Structure formats: structure tokens, C-alpha cells
Amino acid sequence: MQRALPVSRERFADWYQAVVRDADMAESSPVRGAMVIKPWGWGVWEQIQGELDRRIKATGHENCYFPLFIPLSFIAKEAEHVDGFAKEMAVVTHHRLKMIDGKLAPDPEAKLEEPLVVRPTSETIIGDAFSRWIKSYRDLPLLINQWANVVRWEMRPRLFLRTTEFLWQEGHTAHATLQDAQEETARMLEVYRAFAEDVLAMPAIAGEKPENERFPGAVNTYSIEAMMQDGKALQAGTSHFLGTHFAEAQNIKFQNDAGGMEFCNTTSWGVSTRLIGGVIMTHGDDDGLRLPPAIAPKQIVVVPMLRDKPEDAEVLAYCENLVKALSGMSIFGQPVRAHLDLKKIKSAEKRWNWVRRGAPLIVEVGPRDAAGGNVTYMRRDDLRDGDKIKSVVKPRVDFIEGAVQLLAEIQAGLYAEAKARLDGNIKRDIENFEALAAYFGEDDDSFKGWVRAPWSKPTGEALEAVGAKLKTLKLTIRNAPADQPAEFGACLFTGEPGVEEILIGRAY
Amino acid sequence: MQRALPVSRERFADWYQAVVRDADMAESSPVRGAMVIKPWGWGVWEQIQGELDRRIKATGHENCYFPLFIPLSFIAKEAEHVDGFAKEMAVVTHHRLKMIDGKLAPDPEAKLEEPLVVRPTSETIIGDAFSRWIKSYRDLPLLINQWANVVRWEMRPRLFLRTTEFLWQEGHTAHATLQDAQEETARMLEVYRAFAEDVLAMPAIAGEKPENERFPGAVNTYSIEAMMQDGKALQAGTSHFLGTHFAEAQNIKFQNDAGGMEFCNTTSWGVSTRLIGGVIMTHGDDDGLRLPPAIAPKQIVVVPMLRDKPEDAEVLAYCENLVKALSGMSIFGQPVRAHLDLKKIKSAEKRWNWVRRGAPLIVEVGPRDAAGGNVTYMRRDDLRDGDKIKSVVKPRVDFIEGAVQLLAEIQAGLYAEAKARLDGNIKRDIENFEALAAYFGEDDDSFKGWVRAPWSKPTGEALEAVGAKLKTLKLTIRNAPADQPAEFGACLFTGEPGVEEILIGRAY
């Protein structure tokens, strides 16, 4: 069965690379681990940014911008306070280049007294500002977000999923009370969950990460976990309750209304360009990407079927009118994004480009359509009937009148499909580790989904031992979902009484 | 005469710092030369980004994102091709930190084989992509833009005007013909000029930079130059015609329609967070910033005069309704940005905060206003009558009905004021270098504006000599304005026949 990609989802890793490439999303750069985000990929990120930014602002946060470089001493202070502190960071040591023996090299005379670290995350530099900005309880809560690039050295990079440089938003907040900070942590986790569901059409389960998967320095780390089409989990966003750990390390204090000084409780939370990888692996098919209309840079693409003949002018005018009419309508609170493809390539090539890129509606208009007042369109979410492409001919007026409804249907349909996959692939009848091992198999890469099972929530060394056992199966605990039953079976690992249920799976 | 800032524009450099600080725009960071952009400053940048991005897209450009790090070899290749290549760049030499003798330090075992440079601009890394993306004339023009942070080491940083890290957009385009590329260069210069005029209310003169002020590697560099309130020039945007220089260094070729291979002609153009410094120095007064409504993050701020009394509820409800009514209207193609200030500080403090930040309209509502159906408002562009604050009482309905008109008037008024300053302070009667020296004086820092004079357009060493002479007076040639007379007087420097007129002034 001929598809628009050279490889099917059965070879999932290769398929992913093919989609990223053939949908013009991104490519590797000459700098190992960094990527070039191409216009179509960037367009998706702009849509994600736009809508998430509205939601972050609607919950009372203000955007700022903090420096890219962090003094090594800040990082050293954090390292003292934080177990499990990661050290794979880009370090700037010189501020000038010089021709030395005919070769350009770092100038030894421009060596920095204190090396600078390219931010891997900004708790330390933002905490420094907070310690100056916060004086009294009247300054709280302080609710800040920034959109920025960050760098964490990656030995095994994958485009969007794990890159040395990536783009994200990072929220950082300070509160007068522990309860306020906990509420904030939960609020932003829910913003992410709802955003993934409403906008990315990517259902995700919100819950708390186990102790050994916490952000270093956090009291609690929460995540949303989405199920990809190969059954693996993608951690798609995290929200951290930091207690007073960072405030103590960075002296973030406030005067309470009784006049005493207290440390703030702080939080941080973020999502990144990784979400784009999640969208690809949630919605893509063997013809390429399928984009939820809410984040498609172009929701309706109109391809004029031109033949270098006099009737081209009529077809073009007809298409321009169509795009104009569509652009005047609204969906998801924004104008409909309709696009007329005037590139100087063949119409068939255009069609397949838009199929691979996942434009939700692809409209083709030939002389016969123009003369008859019709349009011929394809739904990217329902492209084929067997091998045949399903294209529908409709009167122009009907198509325009129904376009918003069609886009809403596509959005809902993609969500429903992903939701059915998630709901249908969480196995609940695994009762002990042996059964888990038998189910996943050490080298079995076929679709497995996740296991949901009770555990006794061990900590410290006992938890490390559990983690090590799971690792032999390439498994990790994803999170303990927020919604929990009233009673629990026996712990999957120890047989002791369970205290909560957790999700276990393979992950990106 | 008591003003809201501790220092007046008579001490312009100190005044500038005071505005940046007291208008909550930005602050210095612990990393020398880098800044923290605070919410109000960032809000202005968001407005600038939003509107300029629309204009860049409307002229056919697509956004992308390229890596932060550039391999040293790319920079070396450029250095070979380019005279006057600047070398003040941040260099990444290690990718890991390690505890060494109890101190966190770059790990010697994680030294990079090839150092990475933090992008000072992206011609080289984008050119590398272009050389892969462009195959045939059908791929041209290739019109790309990115919004990014860049780093150029600064020894004498000033917030917004000259910082080690700054934010900008950089456009990069490739064309089939020299003429297309020249047209693009001119088109984007005009986009900048019109944007500065329409949106920033900052008139600017577009023209070509002299040879010795060209971007290294450019065939022609054009700029827009704006006049600050101290009479100095601010280069507010540049557009470069690069000919085939970069294409030859980076092998950016295309197959023309006859089947032969040709080098592309390329361009690049950019504006940065420096524009915010320009807005401050164009519109600020001794009470702080005055923001053109088109870029004010909040255009109308409503301050409820609360007294912890039962009638507060009525005042609050009245204010909420007012903000809702205002937010439902549109100006400059966007919803009106109205804000209710609910911070828990005194109303008088709120008023002065918004005055210093330059919110265009500040509305105060007390119980008497609410009961009488009135509002009391101040225009930030016309704040005082002598020492007295001018506040106007108006029926609520009239204020709402007139609000858009008022904002448009403020926008136009700020522009007119700046335009009169620019037009009135370009001196045209300086006929030789001695007169120029007498006019500017070596150590005279008083307001001088610019001189416009003919010159014979020397090149090479003769131009260097002119530059050196001007430097003794702290002067530079800003540009040769696009609009030129039909005939020219004698050259200011040599007395020879002039061939064009240039602008000369002190500059940031």
C-alpha cells in the first residue's frame, strides 16, 4: 500500500525521523545535538506559544526575560544544596577570539575570571532577582514566566524530543505560604493538562512523580504523561513545588504582616519544544503528520490546479475569493488560517506536501470546480478509503458555511482517537513483578502501553532497588495519577499493602 | 519643580538610567553586561515583536529558528572573507562541570574538540542551511526571519542600548538576481522606517551608511537614524545588501532556468531591544517614560480609590465595568488594552507608578465618581499645567466613547513632538570642517542635533582620514539620506564638488 512516507509506523523510530524531515518540521544542525526548526515546525511552535501564553497570563503571570548566562558561583551554590544535580552544561570560558598562528582561537588574554554557564534552567538567576524584588508580603505572590532557549548537553539527541538546545517556557513563582505554593503547582499542572487536551488533542494523565524522579531540589514534582502510538510515555510537562529549598539557598525572604521575616515557598514549571515531538507521535500516520487544527499554522490550504492556460486567471480569482471568505471566519477564538499555495511547483506535489505536513483541510480547485461553483477537498484526518484518496466535491457556499464545523470535528476526532488509545492500553491486571516482566519482556519492542498497579510507595534505598529492577525491563514509573481509588491491592513489588496506584511504562 | 524622577533630562545619562529603573523596565544582572528585562519592559518588547512580526510576515517572510551555537570553523571561514570582522564573542569550550578539589569547575575531560561560539549574528549558520535548501531558481526568493538572543561582548554596557546579550529579529534572504536582493534590502529598510514612525512614534531618517560603517562583508549597509532628546543619533535598524560575498563563502548556489549554476545574492536586516532605549530617549520626560499607545502594554489603567470602607464594593464594580467596556473596543487593529490596578498599595503610589511607567491614560475612580457616573483621568502626554497635575472629570459614557480617539491623539501627538525636534535640529549652514568643529566643540555636551552637509564621498584611506577628524569631535557620519537634492554644494571636508549629502552627529 503506497503511502506518502518511505517508512511506516511499524518502524517507529525511523518513521518519526521521516515525519520530522518530510513534513518540513526540523533538521539536524552542524552543531551536534542542536536543531534547525524550519518554517512549518516553527509555525506549530508559534501556535503553541500563542495559546499557552494566553493561558499563563490568564492565570495572573507576567512575562520577563532573564540572562542566558549564569555565573558558575550561582550553579555551585545550587549544587551544594541539591542532590542529583546534573552537570551536563555548556560552559563559556572566553569572551574573545584571536588569530593565533593563522588560526582563529579563543584568546588566552580574554579568559573569564569566572566561567559562565549557559542556562540549563533559570531557578538560580531568577531566584537572585526574587531575593531583591521581594520585600514584604505585599509583593507576594510573585508570578513570573519566561520564554527562552536553554542548553543541556545531550549525548543521544533526537529532534524535538531531546536536543542540546531547546526552547521552552519556565514559570517561577514565590508565595507567602506553603499552601499557596502547592495550589500554584497544582494550578499550572492543570493548565498543562487542559492545554494538551484542548489544544494539542493529546490526552495526558496528571500525577506526581516518584521521589527518585523529582526535579533536584523539589519537594514534589508533578507531570503530565501522554501515550505515544508505540505505547511509550512522553513526559509532556512538569510542575515543581520547591518548598523553601531554593528560597533558603538564595535568601528569598519577605516580611510578613506581623513584621517577622520568613522564607518564601517557591514553584517552577515548564513545557518545551518536546511537545511538538509529542504531537507528531500522537497524531502522525503513514502519510506523515496530522495536525490538530488548533495548532496548524495553516488550517485550510487551497491549491489551485493551474495549467498555464487562459482559464488559470479564473481559477486563481476563484481561489483568492475562497481564501478571503475563509479567513474572515473564526475558530478557537482566532481567525481561520487559510492559505493559497502559489508556489511554482506541480499541483500534485503541492497536495502531497500538505498531506505530509498535516494541514487539516486541503482544497483543490480546478477549472471545472471554478466554473461549477464547487470545491474539492480532503480531510487529512480521514484521508483514505483503502488505498484511494477520499476527496469530496461540495458547492463552494456549503464548504465555506461548514468549514469551521469541519475543523472542530477534526480537532475532536484526533482527540477521541488518542483518548481511546490511552484509555484502552492501560493494563490493570498485572499483580507482581514477575507478571510485569513476562508482559513487557526484556527485548520486546512491540506495543505494550502502560501498566497501572498499586504500590507501597517505598522511599530511599528501597525505591532505588525498585528503580533498578524496572530498569532491567527498560521501564520507569511515570507518575501516580491524581485520581486514585479508595482502596488498594497489594504492592506490585513487595506484596505489602498498596498505598497508591502508579503508572509504569517505557518512555521517551 | 517636583517631578516623579529624582533627576531631570539636563543630566541625560543619569536621567536615562533613572527612567529604566523607575519605570520598571529593566535592571542590570549579576552577569556583567547582561540585563533582566522586567515585566513592563518585556511587555513593550512583546508589543514591538507582535506588530513588527505582522509586518515581516506581510512582506512574505517566514519565521524559523537556528541554533544558538556556531562552530568555530564557520566563524573562521567568515573571518577569512571579511575585513573588520569583530571578535568579541562568548566562546563555549566545555560541556560539563565537575567537582574538582571540592570546587565546581569545567571538566577537563569534557573539553570540546571544536569550540562553539554563541551567535553574535547568524549569517554563517543560516547560510549553511541555505546552501542545502536552495537548489533551483524555483526555491527563490528564500525569505527567512528569526527572533533570537545574540551575544556580543560589551565592555561598556548600557541597558537596552548596548548589552552583551540582546534580543532581536534577524532577517536573512537569498535571491536569484542582484536587483531582487537590492529591492529586498530597500523594502525592509522601509518596513523599519515606517514601523518606527507609525508604531514607535519615532521619526527616523533612512539612508546609506558610509563605506567605513558597513556591516563587515556587506556591499551596502543602510540604516534608520532617530534623534534622541539630547540631540544624539540612535541607529535604530539596519538592512544589508550582501551581494554574493556570503554566498561565495558558503556556497549558496542555484540552478537558473537555463540550467547553469549561479551564486545567490543575499541580504540581512535586523532591529533589536535597542529600540526600547530609543523609545525612552525619544518620549520620556522628567516624570518618567511616556509610551506611545501602540506599544504600551496597558493603554488605559484604572486605579480604584479604595478606603477600606463599604462603598469600596461599588467603586470596584464600577471600575470593573469600565475596564470591560474599554477592553471591548479596538485601536490600531487590536483590542484596547485596559487594566484594573488591584495591587494592595496606596492609590497615590499607583498613580505615580503609572506616571513613571508612561501608561498613556491613567483613570482614577473614587466614590464620588462612581456615584456621579464620572471618571477622572490624566493624559500622560499632557500631564501638567505648570507644577499642577491636569486631571479631567468626564461622564463615563463620554470617556468611553472618546477613549480610542484620545489614544490616537496621544500617539499622533508624541510623533509630532519628536518629528518637530528632528526637523528643527538638522543644521544645514555648516560649510567646512572648521565651522563644524566650532559648532560642536570638543567637550561641549549640550544639545546640538545633527549637521546635514554635502561631501565628495571619499573612499578607502581618504575616508579613514575623514573618520579620524570627525572622531576628534566625537562625531560620526550617520548616513546619506535616501532623499537627496538635485545639486550639491562643496564637500564639507575637502571643498571639492559634493556628490551627496550626509548627516553628521554624535551617536549612541
- What does the H/E/C string look like for A238-251? EEEEEECHHHHHHC
Q: Which helix (H) or strand (E) holds B270?
A: strand B265-272
CA dist., res. B122 & res. A30, Å (int): 13
For residue A278, which of A289, A270, A286, A293 has the smallest C-alpha distance? A289
Q: Is the pLDDT of residue B222 over 80?
A: yes
Position B30 pLDDT exceeds 70: yes
Grid-cell match 526535579, residue found: A215
Angle at Cα B350 formed by Cα B346 and Cα B356, nearest 5°? 145
The pTM of this model reads 0.97
Chain A CB within 8 Å of residue B32 CB: no
Cβ of residue B427 closer than 8 Å to a chain A Cβ: no
| Confidence band, pLDDT 50/70/90 cuts, at residue B344 | confident
Residues 162 to 181 of A: which have CB under 8 A from any B CB? 165, 167
- Residues counted in chain A: 508
Instruction: Say if the Cβ atoms of A43 and B63 lie within 8 Å.
Output: yes
Residues of A in contact with B83 (CB under 8 A): none
**Residue range B176-200: average pLDDT?**
98
Q: How far is A226 from chain B (nearest CA, A)?
A: 26
Among candidates B45, B91, B165 on the partner chain, residue whose Cβ is nearest the Cβ of A93? B91
Contact check, Cβ <8 Å, A125/B97: no
Contact yes or no for A68 and B149 at CB 8 A:
yes
What's the pLDDT at A442?
75
For A106, name the nearest residue in chain B, comparing CA atoms only: B91
Average pLDDT over residues A309-325: 95
Nearest neighbour of B39 by CB, restricted to A64, A89, A91 = A64
Q: Among residues 294-353 of chain A, which lie with CB inside 8 Å of chain B?
A: 343-345
pLDDT tens-digit series, residues A47-70 = 999 999 999 999 999 999 999 999
Domain A295-413 belongs to what topology? Rossmann fold (3.40.50)
Instruction: Return the CATH architecture of domain B12-283.
Output: 2-Layer Sandwich (3.30)
CATH number of B427-505: 3.30.110.30
The DSSP output letter for B15 is: H
Any CB–CB contact under 8 A between A35 and chain B? yes
- pLDDT tens figures, B385-437: 998 999 999 999 999 999 999 999 999 999 999 999 999 999 999 999 999 99
B1, pLDDT greater than 60: no
- How big, in percent rounded to 5, are the helix, strand and coil portions of chain B? 35, 30, 35
Range B293-297 average pLDDT: 98
C-alpha separations of A435 from A212, A438, A453, A478, A493 in Å: 23, 5, 12, 19, 11
pLDDT band at A41 (very low <50, low <70, confident <90, very high): very high
The minimal CB distance from A68 to the residues B79, B91, B165 is found for B165
The answer, for A88 touching chain B at a CB cutoff of 8 Å, is yes
At B194-216, the pLDDT tens digits run: 999 999 999 999 999 999 999 99
What residues of A are in contact with residue B344 (Cβ under 8 Å)?
138
Q: What are the residues whose beta carbons fall under 8 Å from the beta carbon of B12, sequence distance 6 or more? A: B229, B230, B281
**CA nearest A457: which of A423, A498, A495, A490?**
A498
Mean pLDDT of A297-304: 98
Contacts 24+ apart (CB under 8 A), B497-502: B497/B456, B498/B453, B498/B454, B498/B455, B498/B456, B499/B454, B499/B455, B499/B456, B499/B457, B500/B454, B500/B455, B500/B457, B501/B452, B501/B453, B501/B454, B501/B455, B502/B210, B502/B452, B502/B453, B502/B454, B502/B455, B502/B477, B502/B478
Best of A27, A37, A91, A134 to substitute, by most chain B Cβ atoms within 10 angstroms, is A91
Give the pLDDT score at A81.
74
pLDDT at residue A474 greater than cutoff 60: yes
Using the Cβ of B115 and the Cβ atoms of chain A, whether some distance falls under 8 Å is answered with: yes
Distance CA A204, CA A207 (A): 10
A1 falls in which pLDDT band (50, 70, 90)?
Answer: low
Is the previous residue joined to B141 through a cis bond, with omega within 30 degrees of 0?
Answer: yes
DSSP B409: H
Indicate yes or no: CB of B149 within 8 angstroms of CB of A149.
yes
Please determine, looking at this structure, whether the domain spanning A12-91+121-283 carries the CATH number 3.30.1320.10: no
Class of A426-505 per CATH? alpha beta
Which residue of chain A is at minimal alpha-carbon distance from B61? A39
Averaged pLDDT, A323-340: 97
Residues 6+ apart with CB under 8 A from B362: B301, B303, B351, B354, B355, B377, B378, B380
| Overall average pLDDT of the A460-465 stretch | 96
Within the 199-238 window of chain A, which residues sit less than 8 Å (CB to CB) from chain B? none
Domain B293-409 adopts which CATH fold? Rossmann fold (3.40.50)
Domain boundaries, chain A: 12-91+121-283, 295-413, 426-505
Residue B39 pLDDT greater than 60, yes or no: yes
Helix H or strand E segment including A188: helix A178-198
C-alpha neighbours within 13 Å on the C-beta side of residue B76: 14
Report percent pLDDT > 90 for chain A. Answer: 94
DSSP B419-474: HHHHHHTEE----SHHHHHHHH-TT--S---EEEEEE----HHHHHHHHHHHHHTT
B36 → closest Cβ in A89, A129, A344 = A129
Please give the Cα distance from A376 to A302 (Å, whole number): 10
CB-CB neighbours of A142 under 10 Å: 20
**Residue B303: CA count within 13 A, CB half-sphere:** 22
Query: Does the distance separating the beta carbons of B99 and A89 come in below 8 Å?
Result: no
Instruction: Give the lowest-confidence range in A455-469, B254-268, B436-450.
Output: B436-450
- As a whole number, mean pLDDT of residues B66-72 equals 97
